[in-house]
């Protein structure tokens, strides 16, 4: 089923993906009723700054909204902020809200994102919403102690900000090398050294069993004491409300290469698992750029464009004085090579192979232009042998 320009469209998720979908629908000529449902009371706002500028105090909350109220008003949306979706009937074309309201639709875009995983025991801080960031910010500063569980990008960014504010930070990671599964062991060790150099007590190979009053209990039974605990051990896609809908759920809402989960139903952003034909695999990407791009693609395809969504994913991370940028799909790669610069100086460009193809590039401490040729090569499905010859030619 393809929605017409006058159909009733419902977007569940007042997020970057949901907003991008709403704007695209209007831009592409959709004049029918358009409902935007979000479980937070706020209009769509930007999340990446929460673990960076918001947490550090560099930005006030009023810098986070993605659009002005006038921009939102121009979209002529039926906004349902602070209203949780608890179910949908694809057969009947309705979304059920927690207050008992049923919202009818002809086309549905699911953009409900993810929520943080938690640990057993005493409630601890997580970092997903503006309220989360503000609550954690109040606990940071000189003389304070923070235990961060999980040295992924979110945990690393929070540890970086907290250390910069004078907080004594203990960063706990069960893997031998942080982020090795994503960026490779060599780059992971470089990132680990950055933590050490900035006074963070990074402990790898260290599992946490539970949060306890005044700290966390490790798998060996010992306790790491801390005034505040931040749990950053990944996320779960918000798909429970889709249970029983007939839609396929498997670590996200399963979609095809067009981001379609069923006729007239599309997924976008962190919650969507779709087949990216460029990388010949199913993926679910939790990055801001992908959310906006997939929101736009889902909206166009709902209106009948039927163009495969096959981007080169992009993400960035700020840790201490390092600006990290990456393109492609690095997870599960088979090989990493340094194309330019050096890990020791923390100024380098690394390229990644999966199978027989170039599939990723990551740069740290380098200008943005250094990654552009590699991004283009990834988009062109460049064979690794050809990419290697380019490396060898540059070295010569």
DSSP 103-157: EE-SEEEE---EEE---SBS--B--SSHHHHHHHHTT-STT-EEEEE--SHHHHH
**What are the pLDDT digits (tens) for 271-303?**
999 999 999 999 999 999 999 999 999 999 999
Task: Name the token pair of 299.
Answer: 């909206």
**Domain count for the chain:** 3
Query: pLDDT band at 389, cuts 50/70/90?
Result: confident
Query: What pLDDT was estimated at residue 25?
Result: 98
Q: Tell which of 267, 302, 337 closes a domain.
A: 302
Q: Are 126 and 232 in contact (CB under 8 A)?
A: yes
Residues 86, 150: one domain?
Answer: no
Query: What pLDDT was estimated at residue 396?
Result: 43
CATH number (domain holding residue 357): 3.30.390.30
Residues 123, 251: one domain?
Answer: no
Residues 216, 166: one domain?
Answer: yes
Residues 289, 333: one domain?
Answer: no
**What are the pLDDT digits (tens) for 258-268?**
999 999 999 99
Q: Residue 270 domain-assigned?
A: yes
Q: Tell which of 209, 231, 253 closes a domain.
A: 231
- Average pLDDT of 369-380? 95
Residues 187, 52: one domain?
Answer: no
Q: Residue 333 domain-assigned?
A: yes
Residues 378, 286: one domain?
Answer: no
Q: Residue 80 domain-assigned?
A: yes
Q: Tell which of 180, 210, 231 closes a domain.
A: 231
Average pLDDT, the chain: 96
Q: Residue 3 domain-assigned?
A: no
> Among 126-135, 337-346, 384-393, which stretch is predicted with the lowest mean pLDDT?
384-393
Q: Are 172 and 152 in contact (CB under 8 A)?
A: no
Residues 123, 192: one domain?
Answer: yes
Q: Residue 1 domain-assigned?
A: no
Query: What pLDDT was estimated at residue 88?
Result: 98
Q: Are 230 and 149 in contact (CB under 8 A)?
A: yes
Task: Please list, in sequence order, all residues whose beta carbon lies within 8 angstroms of the beta carbon of residue 165, skipping any fewer than 6 positions away.
Answer: 56, 57, 140, 141, 142
CA distance 234 to 232: 6
Query: What pLDDT was estimated at residue 388?
Result: 82
128 has a pLDDT exceeding 60: yes
Residues 148, 160: one domain?
Answer: yes
Query: What pLDDT was estimated at residue 393?
Result: 52
Query: What pLDDT was estimated at residue 263?
Result: 97
Q: Are 317 and 190 in contact (CB under 8 A)?
A: no
CA distance 146 to 167: 7
Residues 189, 127: one domain?
Answer: yes
Task: Name the token pair of 244.
Answer: 């029983």
Residue count of the chain: 396
Query: What pLDDT was estimated at residue 4?
Result: 75
Query: What pLDDT was estimated at residue 2?
Result: 72
Q: Residue 28 domain-assigned?
A: yes
285 Cα distance to chain centroid? 6
Residues 105, 126: one domain?
Answer: no
Give the domain range for residue 111: 9-115+235-302
Residues 227, 241: one domain?
Answer: no
Q: Residue 75 domain-assigned?
A: yes
Q: How many CB atoms lie within 10 A of CB 197?
A: 11
**What are the pLDDT digits (tens) for 63-90?**
999 999 999 999 999 999 999 999 999 9
CATH number (domain holding residue 287): 3.50.50.60
CA nearest to 39, candidates 137, 129, 127, 102: 129
CA distance 226 to 212: 10
255 has a pLDDT exceeding 80: yes
Q: Residue 167 domain-assigned?
A: yes
Residues 111, 122: one domain?
Answer: no
- Phi, psi (5° rounding) for residue 318? -110, 120
Residue with tokens 């309201």: 101
């Amino acid at each position: 089923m393809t929605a017409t320009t006058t159909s009733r469209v419902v977007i569940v998720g007042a997020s970057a993906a949901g907003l991008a979908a709403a704007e695209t629908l209007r831009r592409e000529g959709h004049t029918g009723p358009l409902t935007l449902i979000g479980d937070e009371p706020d209009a769509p706002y930007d999340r990446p700054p929460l673990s960076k500028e918001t947490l550090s105090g560099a930005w006030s909350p009023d810098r986070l909204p993605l659009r002005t109220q006038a921009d939102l008003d121009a979209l002529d949306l039926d906004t349902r902020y602070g209203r949780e979706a608890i179910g949908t009937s694809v057969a009947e074309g309705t979304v059920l809200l927690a207050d008992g309201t049923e919202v009818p639709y002809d086309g549905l875009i699911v953009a409900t994102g993810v929520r943080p995983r938690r640990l057993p025991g005493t409630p601890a801080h997580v970092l997903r919403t503006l309220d989360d960031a503000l609550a954690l910010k109040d606990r940071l500063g000189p003389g304070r102690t923070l235990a961060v569980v999980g040295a992924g990008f979110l945990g690393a960014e929070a540890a970086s900000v907290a250390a910069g504010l004078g907080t004594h930070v203990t960063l706990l990671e069960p893997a031998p090398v942080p982020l090795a599964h994503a960026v490779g062991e060599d780059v992971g060790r470089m990132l680990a050294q950055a933590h050490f150099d900035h006074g963070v007590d990074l402990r790898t190979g260290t599992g946490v069993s539970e949060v306890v009053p005044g700290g966390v209990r490790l798998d060996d039974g010992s306790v790491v004491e801390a005034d505040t605990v931040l749990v950053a051990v990944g996320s779960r896609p918000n798909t429970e409300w889709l249970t029983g809908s007939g839609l396929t759920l498997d670590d996200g809402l399963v979609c095809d290469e067009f981001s379609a989960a069923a006729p007239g139903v599309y997924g976008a952003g962190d919650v969507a698992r779709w087949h990216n034909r460029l990388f010949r695999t199913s993926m679910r990407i939790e990055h801001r750029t992908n959310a906006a791009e997939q929101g736009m693609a889902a909206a166009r395809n709902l209106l009948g464009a039927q163009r495969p969504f096959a981007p080169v994913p992009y993400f960035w991370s700020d840790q201490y004085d390092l600006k990290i940028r990456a393109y492609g799909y690095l997870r599960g790669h088979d090989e990493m090579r340094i194309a330019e610069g050096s890990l020791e100086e923390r100024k380098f460009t690394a390229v990644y192979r999966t199978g027989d193809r170039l599939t990723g590039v990551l740069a740290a401490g380098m200008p943005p232009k250094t990654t552009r040729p590699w991004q283009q090569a990834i988009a062109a499905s460049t064979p690794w042998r050809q990419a290697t010859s380019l490396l060898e030619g540059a070295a010569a």
